[in-house]
Structure 1
Amino acid sequence: MGGPDYIPAAVRARLRGLRLGGRRAAGGEGFGQHRSRSRGAGLEFAQYRPYEPGDEPRQVDWKLYARSDRFFVREAERDSPLTAWVLVDASASMDQAEPGDGTRLDAARVLAACVFELALRQGDRFGLATIGGTGLQLVSAGAGPRQRDRCLLALRSLRAGGAWPDQTVLRPLWERIGAGHLVLLLSDDFDEAAIVLMEKLSAARREVLNIQLLTSEERDFPFRGGHRFVEPESGRELSSDGAAVREDFLRRFGEARQALHARLAAAGVRRVEHVLDRPPDEPLRALFASRPVERA
């Protein structure tokens, strides 16, 4: 049984012109496919790992099961262009909605599904990590249609809430995301801990990309008259006249985004912004297409 399909037909068609790849492993500027050693269903044995739902029964080592009464899967070395991880911010601020459309988290689901589709087409391995008030949830890296469906089903049950967890909660990430792996964080980038995580992953030789998810209201600040603004994760409130604070908000918010861009660039993290009223494949084209993004 397949997982939910979050990709609109028009977007799916445009994905054909994109290809996942990493700068560092390519050994030069730009993004392109590269080769590395990864775990797969090849011929040269590498290691055992615990069985997970969806694994092929033929990969189970039945002799080891007879000795241990536990299911283990044989993994082998194989040439693979890429292992890609999608990290989804599921903190409370990701429940912010685009007027007349879905939330930031909805947009993250679509973008994540697009990445899984690209990885599937390339024969790459990919995994999912969701991070929010309930802690860290992982779908281990794998390949194939069943792996895609596992990731999509995990996204379907995901709900935004709470704050970004403590760094100690994220320690399992370091056990799963290896050096040279491609990591894409989908987030509003409002949590300092999320920025620190990207910096640390990049410093540890992970290829880190970031798509910052913003609403059109944050871009345009169209509010007029008295408004009460509430920070979703802390509950702090601010009452003000929208028109009176618009200019100051846009200036300060723009400066904050520029500072974040410079900070992440200094750490080797490539960042793009995505406003939710724009086509969902636009930020992926900015990261992975060989030609500039065409705006309508």
Structure 2
Amino acid sequence: MFELTDELRARLRDLRLSARSAAGGNGLGMHASRSRGAGLEFAQYRGYEPGDEPRRIDWKLYARSDRYFVREAERDSPLTIWIVIDASASMAQADQARADYSKLDAAKLLAACTIELALRQGDRFGLIGLSSQALRFVADAAGPRQRDRCLLELAALNSGGLLPDAKKLRPLWERILPGSLVLLLSDCFDDDLVELATRLAAARREVLSIQLISAEERDFPFRSGHRFRDPETGAELRIDARLAREGFIKRFEAARAELAKRFAAAGVLHVEHVLDRALDEPLQKLFGSSQTMVERR
């Protein structure tokens, strides 16, 4: 199970899940909705229709116009957030300084934090694990029991193999409805996953991305001959790390910059998280009060 420390919970206190576009669900929550009905904030009048509740008729306006009008209001509607976790083999990467803490571990903790934020706001949340075997789903719902279901699924999620192929990903489009908020937790090394995120954004899902990077990938601290092995394909590369360091760092920085540019063009809000940094940093960037959410085009 995933225990969030009191210190981490305190740092999450001022964060608020929000979407750049208005939410469209039903029920009461903390998000403005485009749906109309009985609510708190007045939106507009419309003509009375059979079946409308008499208490919603504006009788003062009737006295002036001799016509029946119904008051409509903006509903405060819960957000639905889907947390999508890359569980391919590369997510098992950890740093030598902290070999018991992998990218997948960080993704699980970030997911647990996001679940706590959604629970606090009364929002609906669901979980999707992407592994080579199949998609692992926890259908979206709200409340403490839903949190417990998601945490159990997180505990059972292991990294390995490649990402699911397009056929296995098909149910994802049926579960994540337009207007949903999608948080992608991945190292973003697989171009198919990046393409999936941009397609979701183009299909009216609001996509946020946290790219998980090890400190050794950022710094490349190796100084002697090393053998590097691709955990997903098994391909191996033997190099003199000292001579390769400068070129690797430049290429890795260029690849990250290109990814950020590609996501920005697609309308995906993207941040990085390096494993040796505070866990809440990417969440502060996405959901903190200083984050200005640009209106969706």
Q: Which residue of 2 aligns with 1:11?
A: 8
Q: Which residue of 2 aligns with 1:117?
A: 116
Matched, 1:215 2:211: no
The CA distance in 1 between the partners of 2:127 and 2:34, in whole Å, is 20
How many residues in Structure 1 have an aligned counterpart in Structure 2?
244
Residues 179-194 of structure 1: pairs in structure 2 closer than 5 A: 179-194=178-193
Q: Which residue of 1 aligns with 2:50?
A: none
Residues 11-50 of structure 1: pairs in structure 2 closer than 5 A: 11-25=8-22, 33-35=31-33
The CA distance in 2 between the partners of 1:81 and 1:146, in whole Å, is 17
The CA distance in 1 between the partners of 2:143 and 2:262, in whole Å, is 36
Report deviation, 1:79.
Answer: 5.2
The CA distance in 2 between the partners of 1:136 and 1:10, in whole Å, is 33
Task: Give unpaired runs (5+ residues) of structure 1.
Answer: 27-31, 38-77
The CA distance in 1 between the partners of 2:181 and 2:257, in whole Å, is 24
The CA distance in 2 between the partners of 1:134 and 1:200, in whole Å, is 22
Q: Which residue of 2 aligns with 1:54?
A: none
Report deviation, 1:212.
Answer: 0.2
Report deviation, 1:173.
Answer: 1.1
Matched, 1:249 2:248: yes
Report deviation, 1:133.
Answer: 1.4
The CA distance in 1 between the partners of 2:34 and 2:176, in whole Å, is 14
Asked whether the 8 Å contact 1:224–1:243 carries over to 2, the reply is yes
Q: Which residue of 1 aligns with 2:231?
A: 232
Report deviation, 1:36.
Answer: 5.7
The CA distance in 2 between the partners of 1:34 and 1:209, in whole Å, is 19
The CA distance in 2 between the partners of 1:153 and 1:282, in whole Å, is 25
Q: Which residue of 2 aligns with 1:107?
A: 106
The CA distance in 2 between the partners of 1:151 and 1:233, in whole Å, is 26
Structure 1 vs Structure 2 CA RMSD: 1.5
Residues 75-224 of structure 1: pairs in structure 2 closer than 5 A: 80-98=77-95, 99-100=97-98, 101-224=100-223
Q: Which residue of 2 aligns with 1:275?
A: 274
Amino acid at match of 2:134: G
Asked whether the 8 Å contact 2:32–2:76 carries over to 1, the reply is no
The CA distance in 1 between the partners of 2:262 and 2:77, in whole Å, is 31
Task: Give unpaired runs (5+ residues) of structure 2.
Answer: 24-29, 36-74, 292-297
Amino acid at match of 1:274: H
Asked whether the 8 Å contact 1:36–1:81 carries over to 2, the reply is no
TM-score by length of structure 1 reads: 0.80
SS in 1 for 2:12: helix
Asked whether the 8 Å contact 1:34–1:82 carries over to 2, the reply is no
TM-score by length of structure 2 reads: 0.79
Asked whether the 8 Å contact 1:36–1:79 carries over to 2, the reply is no
The ranges of structure 1 where at least 4 consecutive aligned residues each deviate by more than 3 angstroms after the TM superposition are none
**Larger C-alpha radius of gyration, 1 or 2?**
2
Q: Which residue of 1 aligns with 2:39?
A: none
Residues 38-77 of structure 1: pairs in structure 2 closer than 5 A: none
Amino acid at match of 1:199: T
Report deviation, 1:167.
Answer: 1.3
Asked whether the 8 Å contact 2:230–2:236 carries over to 1, the reply is yes
The CA distance in 2 between the partners of 1:193 and 1:6, in whole Å, is 32
